[in-house]
Structure 1
Amino acid sequence: MQDNSNFLAEHTKALQNTTDVMAELLKKLPIIENLDSRKGGEYGCPNNDGEAKMKKIRRPYNINGKRFWITGNSEQEVSEEFAKILMKEKGISVKAQQTHDLCEKIDEWFEFKKAHKKIGIQTTRSYDKHIRDIKSHFDGIKVEQVTWQGIQAFLDKFSHQSRSTSYQKLVILRQVLQWAVSDGILTVNPAKDKRVIISQKAKKREAVPLKEYIAMVGMAHTIKLHRDRALFALVALTGMRRGEALALRWQDIDWARGTISISQTVIYDGDKPVIKEPKSDAGVRTYPIVDQLRDLLTPIMKHFGYVVSVDGFKPLGETAYTRAWQRVCKQINPNKYTPHQFRHTVASILASSPLISPKTAQTMLGHSDFATTMNVYAKTEIESALDAGRIFTEIIKSS
């Protein structure tokens, strides 16, 4: 008979998952009897003081007519020892179950995604941040050990963040674990369990109150640095996206006609600004120069270069942009409204006027899909945008 110590050493890895081992053995050995009529029990081992320091569990088993008493510190230990004896008696070799590190699986999935799908710099940065959070929380966890409860605990850990942020983390987990399902590692995806919930309520990003908006526009000429003043003027009076304002060049402004051509945007690779085309065709558009915007930009007008820039030759880096907006907030924006909130305000002003069609507002803001019903409106021409600009000016003046 094979030496017992060698046998146990040979099957050490096979015993890592006792549940699977037992399941396979029970299928192959229907002759295993239930526990002996004697129930066994627990007993304490006295220490030097005569007190029980640990409870032991002792269980009787009958295998092919042989009785075995198995002792352990827990039911898990008893089960593992039972599996060892059972394999020894029947000479059954159970192949060790292969496990897969979750963090390694995440890296494998992400590398494949980057290699086979077009992912922009901004999207990659967003993925990197969420993946760092996921890997930090699940460090050392095997794919096979991930449960819906563990995923819920992870999401609850980030409940202080926005709902959309938590949802993005959940989407990544769903995709990684679905990858594991496709590879045959898992049979079900725990991240798709209906019991997994995102507790945060969606926060609606409010527009800047009109009274405060008008006051800040009136104070914009007091902003000290020209680039800061230009940044505020563009986002507050056109509703441009941050990247569009940073990518605007003086040659994109037609002062004689009174229009601004928006055809590019800035994204960041680390702190480095990168010029890109808008993500949709709707992002390429013409916007009217309202009187208030002309008044703010004319004194600092140049003939070339970027409007929001230190030297005119390149857009602001991300750190420089952040500091510029912080200076704007310190001088005229004490409630620290974001550029996107000003965009919401411009949209609200456009929508509030019965003289500006929804389709015109959609074009001015660069929305690819304002609403399904907006498709019944005719295509907006530059003249329509100019008319809307004049109306926009009057709305601000009359408020």
Structure 2
Amino acid sequence: MKRSNGEGSICRRSNGKGWVGSLTLGHDENGKQLRRFVSGDTQQEVRAKLDAIKQERERGTAAPSNARLTVAEAVDRWLTYKARDLRLTTMTDYRTHCQKFIVPKLGSVRLDKLTAMHVEDLLVSMLDSGQSAARATRCLKIVKMALSQAVDWELVGRNVAERIKPPKVQRQEMKVWNPAEVQRFLTAAEGHRYHALFYLALVSGMRRGEMLGLRWSDVDTARAQLTVARSVVYVAGGLHVSEPKTAAGKRVITLSPDVLEVLTAHRLTYGVNELVFSSSKGNFLNPSNVARKFEVLCQRASVPHIRFHDLRHTSASLLIRSNVSAKVVSDRLGHADSGFTLRTYVHVFDDQRRAAALSLGEMLREAGD
């Protein structure tokens, strides 16, 4: 709500969570308003903050919010703030999108002068230059997060990107192998140093980095299970060990007898150190090298070209088609909840539902067998 001149204004945040207020403290040499922004959970809290600023103004000690801060400076502060809590891979992703797209387009704009149209222009320019809708959407998400923090820091009164809709992302059809193609690939990979790695990927649905970080101490042959405790990722020109992608990523995976047999044979042949899968020198395998070997074996097996990560999707698809529940598949893949699993593999579950649409006569025959 607006108040009388000099009293400031108060309104709800654009996302409906909390309140924001602003107060004009004067004008600069060009006649532009110098304003101070505040925020709070309740209207009363914001009003109290504005009243305190008015007292500062009367004493001559009130200073405007950092009105001359540019978007580039605000983004840099936000990245420094987020670096304390985020994984290295996530921070690298944020920095890359900021440096390549956000700052070149918006960096010179003063934070308090940034408008929704500035952000819309960023998205349009990215799409016009051939960037994907997914990448533009990622940039929009980062801008929204940075501006939301700027509101919390009381640098601006509102998040101008809050209501901007992301460009429509065309969902790519998931590529997976059928059982015959899986068998052809594994036959072609027999005797290869990475055979056990591919076998485990297909049966467990583990991420590549999780397997590259796997140690023999994580494998419990007596209980027929392994523990996913870390991941190896390639970031900023080097390999780094980090925690799994999500809290749910720290999990225990039950192993079938055939997997234990393959892992045991692999250890007898290549188990030179604590790493389950390592280079000939005992170092971490480079993810890019693994991907290249995978492509070579795909050609040798004459199977459809898929990404290494699609082995994870293939594993999930095979589990679902074997009537394994969404909850079990979710736990095995390390998803935060089974709802995400259902959304990701909705087409596979739809196939299963259609297959379950039996007539009463068919159901009675099945039950009687």
Q: Deviations over 1:215-259 (max 9, x none)?
A: 212322164xx1x33432322232111121101223444556654
Q: Aligned pair in 2 of structure 1 residues 232, 156: CA closer, same or farther (>3 Å)?
A: farther
Using the alignment, how far apart are the partners of 2:125 and 2:340 within structure 1?
38
Using the alignment, how far apart are the partners of 1:270 and 1:148 within structure 2?
33
Q: Deviations over 1:94-143 (max 9, x none)?
A: x9x9533110111122223334xx11211111111111121122242222
1:146 matched to 2:78: no
Q: How does 1:232-381 map to 2 (within 5 A)?
A: 232-255=198-221, 258-278=224-244, 279-281=246-248, 283-289=250-256, 291=258, 294-295=261-262, 298=265, 300-302=269-271, 304-311=273-280, 313-316=282-285, 320-332=286-298, 335-354=304-323, 356-371=324-339
Q: Aligned pair in 2 of structure 1 residues 241, 184: CA closer, same or farther (>3 Å)?
A: closer
Shift of 1:341: 1.3
Q: Deviations over 1:249-270 (max 9, x none)?
A: 2344455665444333224453
Q: How does 1:59-208 map to 2 (within 5 A)?
A: 98-115=67-84, 118-132=85-99, 133-159=101-127, 160-182=130-152, 186-194=156-164, 196-208=165-177
AA in 1 matched with 2:114: V
% identity of equivalent residues: 23
Using the alignment, how far apart are the partners of 1:360 and 1:301 within structure 2?
32
Q: Aligned pair in 2 of structure 1 residues 359, 177: CA closer, same or farther (>3 Å)?
A: closer
RMSD of aligned alpha carbons: 3.5
Q: Deviations over 1:45-76 (max 9, x none)?
A: xxxxxxxxxxxxxxxxxxxxxxxxxxxxxxxx
The 8 Å contact of residues 101 and 140 in structure 1, kept in 2 or not, is answered as yes
Aligned length: 276
Using the alignment, how far apart are the partners of 1:158 and 1:290 within structure 2?
50
Using the alignment, how far apart are the partners of 1:342 and 1:293 within structure 2?
19
Using the alignment, how far apart are the partners of 2:243 and 2:73 within structure 1?
34
Using the alignment, how far apart are the partners of 1:158 and 1:275 within structure 2?
33
Q: Using the TM superposition, name which of 207-216 and 131-140 deviates more.
A: 207-216
Using the alignment, how far apart are the partners of 1:323 and 1:102 within structure 2?
39
AA in 2 matched with 1:274: H
1:14 matched to 2:29: yes
Structure 1: unaligned runs, 5 residues or longer: 1-12, 22-94, 375-399
Using the alignment, how far apart are the partners of 2:340 and 2:333 within structure 1?
16
- Provide the residue aligned with 1:8 in structure 2: none
AA in 2 matched with 1:245: M
2:185 to 193, 216, 221: 216
Q: Deviations over 1:300-326 (max 9, x none)?
A: 35264212211464422xxx2212211
- Provide the residue aligned with 1:62 in structure 2: none
Using the alignment, how far apart are the partners of 2:335 and 2:270 within structure 1?
28
- Provide the residue aligned with 2:195 in structure 1: 229
Larger radius of gyration: 1
Using the alignment, how far apart are the partners of 1:108 and 1:340 within structure 2?
34
The 8 Å contact of residues 319 and 329 in structure 2, kept in 1 or not, is answered as yes
Using the alignment, how far apart are the partners of 1:199 and 1:281 within structure 2?
29
Structure 2: unaligned runs, 5 residues or longer: 1-27, 35-63, 343-369
The 8 Å contact of residues 236 and 339 in structure 1, kept in 2 or not, is answered as no
AA in 1 matched with 2:314: T
Using the alignment, how far apart are the partners of 2:325 and 2:143 within structure 1?
43
AA in 1 matched with 2:247: S
The 8 Å contact of residues 99 and 143 in structure 1, kept in 2 or not, is answered as yes
Shift of 1:275: 3.2
Using the alignment, how far apart are the partners of 1:324 and 1:212 within structure 2?
19
The 8 Å contact of residues 121 and 268 in structure 1, kept in 2 or not, is answered as no
AA in 1 matched with 2:125: K
Q: Aligned pair in 2 of structure 1 residues 16, 363: CA closer, same or farther (>3 Å)?
A: same
